[in-house]
Amino acid sequence: MLTLKLAIRNLLRNTRRTILTVMLIGFSLTALILADALTLGMLDILVNSVTKNVVGEAQIHKPGFRQNLDVDLYLSETEKIRDSLDQDPTIAAYSERVISGGMMSSSYNVATGLMYGINADAEGQVTQLPDAIVEGTYLTGTQGEILIGNELADLLEITLGDRLVITLSEANSGELAQALFRVSGIFHFGIEGVDTGLVFANLRQARSVIGLSDQQSHEFALRFTDPSLATMPGTQVYRQLNTDNIETLNWLELNKPIASIIEMSGLSSVIIGSILFILAGLGVINSMFMSIYERLYEFGVVKALGARPARLAALILLEALLIALISCLAGMTLGYLLGSYAAENGVPMGEFQVSGIAIDNRVLLRLELYQFIQYPLFVICLTVVAALYPARFAARIIPTEALQRSL
Amino acid sequence: MAALIETENLCRYFYQSDDIVVKAVDDISIHIEPGEFTAIIGPSGSGKTTLLHLIGGLDTPTSGEVSLSGHRISGMSAGQLSDFRRDHIGFVFQAYNLIPVLSAEENIEYIMLLQGVDAATRKARVAETLRQVDLSDYASRRPAKLSGGQQQRVAVARAMASHPDIILADEPTANLDSKTGIALLDVMKELNETLGMTFVFSTHDEKIMKRASRLIHIEDGRVHKDERKSS
């Protein structure tokens, strides 16, 4: 108890230094919490952009289809797949699609792109396509209607009601086929490849143009009841629908650049944390050494009285532990207050793109419990570890030399 | 009577270079009996403090031996020396003896905490030693709120509280004015006479010399003269 009292009073001896040290460590912790929350917020935007838009949380294809979107590599066992998905309690919704690359021609211009044939209702339950409509209306199932990305519409110089001719090759025969559509809606996702290269038509008409039957599709896009199920390898759909003829992949496997970014974001938190805490650790070492040098004579007296080296080392480590605890309390409080505000109001980041996905000018921070458990524990451990060197120095003070210092 | 302190051919040399050797203590053999009030005197740089440090186990001799209460301390490890100092020796230094963030009573208690004395005994001994140095009313004051003389008396009380075999005092009056110095010496002399506590001083203070029962004169690291006064 007296040792604890001694440690507390030693910290209060030079309150300015103690406060500065606490601020250094506390602000580092706050910065780490906020940096991590910001990273999570940006990842949320990326993940939402991917999973809530065209890709979905997982997709089912014929093996090899994704590599070059070969129109001949279609799924024939769609009945079996539908049955399996209907009975799977982890699947909230799915959207069946046909896809073909083709030439899009307007009266003014020509561009290449992908035509998606979709079931309007099912697609609306898997992706946010209905919400992305910025002009016109969503698909109603009427023959000839088509949705086009706003940038592609600009390129083709067409708008609502204008004609769009799509030329593509039929499945199986390879013959060229043409279909006339009228633009019924213009969408904007903020994803470069989507807004500049996709059109969405009704599934029945698209199948007819491509030459597929009602039981043939290129893709199923899935949405799970819990988004975290998508990236769990043991989830039922991955076990049941991964055969020689069917390939089921989650959104991370479908978006390698995004997966890399997510992996790197974890690494960046480690790098940011390491730099912050190396600086904070050096601050602790400096502060503790200043404190020891001020008390050198005193340590000499205490050692002369018979204090064992371990007791002096323990005193220094206890002082460091107290500093760490106070710093964590301050850092967590500040981190929570600032983080909560930014989680509610967002952080203005300007507009920029990550892997072709436009990040809006506000990123909502995401605070998680682990940030207030793991990071403070790191801080406490690192502060105490940083204090080991000064503690060792204090423990090795030679009484006769220390007693000569200030007299 | 068996000697409390025995030094045999005690030497402490400091090697400043290959050619220059400072013989701070050079072949000193002395015996100090229990209950003596001994002053080691000599000019500055004569080796008084070094001798006191060797006797107190704060320094290691170059050669020779030191024994205290029958324990040969010159061969002890650093850890053993710490424990030995804690349990057998009380120290009073020239100044800044006390831990500034602890009160007078906490400073006294601290040494007993090192010894592992239980809380009730600690409390009783703190009260007793403060009474012995006449500072009962200043128990809760921190060193900054005490005069230099009061601080030295607290240091004496702390040394007493550990129930040592001997108290070693390195120029305890050097930073005190004459009147305060005399008052401190009177306290220590009284403890010596009433409790039989053995004191060894290093000093060149005439006041201590007058009160000492024995004067050991040191010059150039050697005992120049060893005189016992008749009481």
Among the residue ranges A221-225, B46-50, B74-78, the one predicted with the least confidence is B74-78
d(CA B172, CA A335): 54
d(CA A278, CA A266): 18
More confident residue, B17 or A118: A118
Rounded to the nearest 5 percent, the helix, strand and coil shares of chain A are 55, 20, 25
What mean pLDDT do residues B111-136 have? Answer: 91
Q: What is the pLDDT of residue A153?
A: 95
Q: What is the pLDDT of residue A407?
A: 41
Q: What is the pLDDT of residue A405?
A: 62
- Which neighbouring-strand residues pair with A217? A75
More confident residue, A270 or A369: A369
Could you report the per-residue pLDDT of A356-386, keeping only the tens digit for each?
666 666 888 999 999 999 999 998 998 899 8
Which of A9, A306, A400 lies closest to B83 in CB terms?
A306
Contact status of B14 with chain A (Cβ, < 8 Å)? no
- CB within 8 Å of A27: residues ≥ 6 apart: A331, A334
Contact status of B97 with chain A (Cβ, < 8 Å)? yes
Could you report the per-residue pLDDT of B155-171, keeping only the tens digit for each?
989 988 988 999 999 98
Which of A10, A311, A406 lies closest to B101 in CB terms?
A10
What ipTM was assigned to the predicted interfaces of this complex?
Answer: 0.87
Which of B87, B94, B114 lies closest to A307 in CB terms?
B114
d(CA A14, CA A16): 6
What mean pLDDT do residues A214-237 have? Answer: 89
* Cα angle for residues B109, B112, B114 (degrees, 5° grid): 115
DSSP string, A67-78: HH--TT--BS-H
Q: What is the pLDDT of residue A397?
A: 87
The first and second tokens of residue A396, run together, are 């090795």
Q: What is the pLDDT of residue A159?
A: 92
Give Cα B139 to chain centroid, integer Å. 23
pLDDT at B230 over 80: no
Q: What is the pLDDT of residue A164?
A: 94
Could you report the per-residue pLDDT of A273-285, keeping only the tens digit for each?
888 888 888 888 8
d(CA B201, CA A352): 79
pLDDT at A337 over 80: yes
* Cα angle for residues A98, A99, A100 (degrees, 5° grid): 135
pLDDT > 90: percent of chain B: 46
**C-alpha pair distances (Å), A78 with each of A37, A60, A82, A239, B64:** 42, 10, 6, 17, 99
Among the residue ranges A39-48, A218-227, A278-287, A352-361, the one predicted with the least confidence is A352-361
**Probe site for chain B from A305, A312, A318, A403 (most B CB atoms < 10 A):** A305
The verdict on a CB contact (< 8 Å) between B85 and A304 is yes
Residue of chain B minimizing CA distance to A402: B58
- Which neighbouring-strand residues pair with A406? none
Q: Is A322 helix (H, G, I), strand (E, B) or coil?
A: helix
* Residue whose C-alpha is closest to residue A78's, from A284, A246, A262, A326: A246
With residue B159 as reference, give the H or E element that holds it: helix B148-161
The verdict on a CB contact (< 8 Å) between B85 and A5 is no
pLDDT at B96 over 80: no
Chain B residues with CB-CB distance to A305 below 8 A: 85-86, 91, 110-111, 114, 158, 162
* Residue whose C-alpha is closest to residue A65's, from A202, A248, A251, A257: A248
Which of A309, A399, A406 lies closest to B58 in CB terms?
A399
Give the number of C-alpha atoms closer than 13 A to the C-alpha of residue A20, restricted to the C-beta side. 10
**C-alpha pair distances (Å), B57 with each of A4, A236, A304, B10, B71:** 29, 75, 9, 13, 11
Chain A residues with CB-CB distance to B58 below 8 A: 304, 399-400, 403
The verdict on a CB contact (< 8 Å) between B82 and A13 is no
What pLDDT band is residue B223 in, cutting at 50, 70 and 90?
A: very high
Measured in angstroms, the CA of A289 and the nearest CA of chain B are apart by 18
The verdict on a CB contact (< 8 Å) between B113 and A3 is yes
What mean pLDDT do residues A152-178 have? Answer: 91
The verdict on a CB contact (< 8 Å) between B91 and A305 is yes
Could you report the per-residue pLDDT of A52-68, keeping only the tens digit for each?
778 888 999 999 998 88
Write the burial class of residue A234 (CB in 10 Å: 0-12 exposed, 13-18 middle, 19+ buried).
Answer: exposed
In this structure, the strands spanning B214-219 and B37-41 are parallel
The verdict on a CB contact (< 8 Å) between B96 and A3 is no
**C-alpha pair distances (Å), A360 with each of A45, A100, A190, A348, A354:** 9, 31, 9, 9, 11
What pLDDT band is residue B95 in, cutting at 50, 70 and 90?
A: confident
Contact status of B87 with chain A (Cβ, < 8 Å)? yes
Q: Is B43 helix (H, G, I), strand (E, B) or coil?
A: coil
* Cα angle for residues A359, A360, A364 (degrees, 5° grid): 95
Chain B residues with CB-CB distance to A298 below 8 A: 96, 99-100
Chain A residues with CB-CB distance to B111 below 8 A: 305-306
The verdict on a CB contact (< 8 Å) between B59 and A400 is yes
Chain B residues with CB-CB distance to A308 below 8 A: 79, 82-83
The first and second tokens of residue B155, run together, are 């240091």
C-alpha torsion sign, points A346, A348, A350, A353: negative
Chain A residues with CB-CB distance to B144 below 8 A: none
Whether A218 and A28 have beta carbons less than 8 Å apart is answered as: no
Chain B residues with CB-CB distance to A5 below 8 A: 102, 106
* Residue whose C-alpha is closest to residue A29's, from A363, A377, A267: A377
What mean pLDDT do residues A220-230 have? Answer: 89
Whether B199 and B32 have beta carbons less than 8 Å apart is answered as: no
Count of A-B CB contacts under 8 Å: 74
Measured in angstroms, the CA of A298 and the nearest CA of chain B are apart by 6
d(CA A36, CA A31): 8
The verdict on a CB contact (< 8 Å) between A308 and B100 is no
Rounded to the nearest 5 percent, the helix, strand and coil shares of chain B are 40, 25, 35
The verdict on a CB contact (< 8 Å) between A6 and B91 is no
- CB within 8 Å of A146: residues ≥ 6 apart: A164, A181, A182, A183, A184, A199, A200, A201
Contact status of B60 with chain A (Cβ, < 8 Å)? no
The first and second tokens of residue B75, run together, are 């061969």
What mean pLDDT do residues A199-225 have? Answer: 93
- CB within 8 Å of A139: residues ≥ 6 apart: A118, A120, A145, A147, A184, A185, A200, A201, A202
pLDDT > 70: percent of chain A: 97
Chain A residues with CB-CB distance to B82 below 8 A: 303, 306-309
Binding-site residues on chain A for chain B (CB distance < 8 A): 2-3, 5-6, 9-10, 12-13, 297-298, 301-309, 311, 399-400, 403, 406-407
What mean pLDDT do residues A340-368 have? Answer: 79
The verdict on a CB contact (< 8 Å) between B86 and A305 is yes
The verdict on a CB contact (< 8 Å) between A301 and B91 is yes
What's the predicted TM-score (pTM) here?
A: 0.75
d(CA A148, CA A158): 10
pLDDT at B19 over 90: no
Measured in angstroms, the CA of A404 and the nearest CA of chain B are apart by 11
Q: What is the pLDDT of residue A372?
A: 96
Q: Is A371 helix (H, G, I), strand (E, B) or coil?
A: helix
What pLDDT band is residue A208 in, cutting at 50, 70 and 90?
A: very high
pLDDT at B106 over 50: yes
- CB within 8 Å of A68: residues ≥ 6 apart: none
Q: Among the residues of A241-308, which ranges form H helices?
A: 251-254, 256-294, 296-305
Residue of chain A minimizing CA distance to B98: A298
With residue A18 as reference, give the H or E element that holds it: helix A15-51
